[in-house]
Amino acid sequence: MFLPALFVSHGAPDLAVLDTPERRFLEGLAGEIKRPRAIVSVSAHFETARPSVVADPSPETVYDFGNFDPRLFEMTYPAPGEPELARAIVKGLRERGQAVDVLEKRGYDHGTWVPLTLVYPGADIPVVQLSVQPGGGPEHHLRIGRMLRDFLPEDVLLFASGALTHNLRELFQGGMPALDAPAPDWVNEFGDWVGERVAAGDEASLLDYRARAPHAVRNHPTDEHLLPIFTAMGFAGEGWSGHRLFAGHSRGLIRMDTFSFE
């Protein structure tokens, strides 16, 4: 039996050091699922023109942010890579007609290491990173997930990391909101719509979210932070079942929801 595919909202990098409900949820998430042999991380912060797989045996921790808590820059996530799994992904995608690149010397960005340091703090499960394509759209990422389902072993966890809402321009206007600032209606209405469509298994509406969801473009001026959810959805196969495991928000405008698909 396949492990559930996860979509995790990683929020800001300081998720790793702040005491928040979403941090506490992620710290307990590993106890709710079977331990994977390896993890394929699809991070919104790994953007390429076409799918790219990292084949490093020992990826470094990348601090792809600034002006955050100094403690973050002292943290590392020394989980090993798995070149053999990376090669299997490349082979499987190419056999299905999908062009794919292999990258080396690209470490774990914060979309990968920040949530994983909470879910699997031992850093003892191999991680292979797979990129998103900002120009590809939801259908492309769903298709990639379906391809991965065809050939990845059942004990590999698809860990999609993004954000249910992600409008940084409004977040930073007038100064950073307080960590516990209330979420405005336009954020909650979008987040609730996604949750309802996931629970209903309404793949068609989710794929067309930019036209159908309330305040979609305001919550995602660009959609790279939501694209990983479609890879998770695709990996769960035709007729998937989706569940919201956690609902919350950070600094008002960032919904921090986590979903599982199986």
- 161, 228 Cβ separation under 8 angstroms: yes
Task: Map out the domains of the chain as residue ranges.
Answer: 5-261
- 13, 65 Cβ separation under 8 angstroms: yes
Query: What is the residue type of 94?
Result: R
Write out pLDDT tens, residues 180-194.
999 999 999 999 999
- DSSP code, position 12: S
Mean pLDDT confidence for 189-218? 98
For residue 229, the model assigns a pLDDT of 99
The CATH number of the domain covering residues in 5-261 = 3.40.830.10
**Is the per-residue pLDDT at 12 higher than 90?**
yes
The whole model's pTM is what? 0.97
For residue 145, the model assigns a pLDDT of 98
Write out pLDDT tens, residues 51-110.
999 999 999 999 999 989 999 999 999 999 999 999 999 999 999 999 999 998 899 999
Write out pLDDT tens, residues 97-119.
999 999 988 999 999 999 999 99
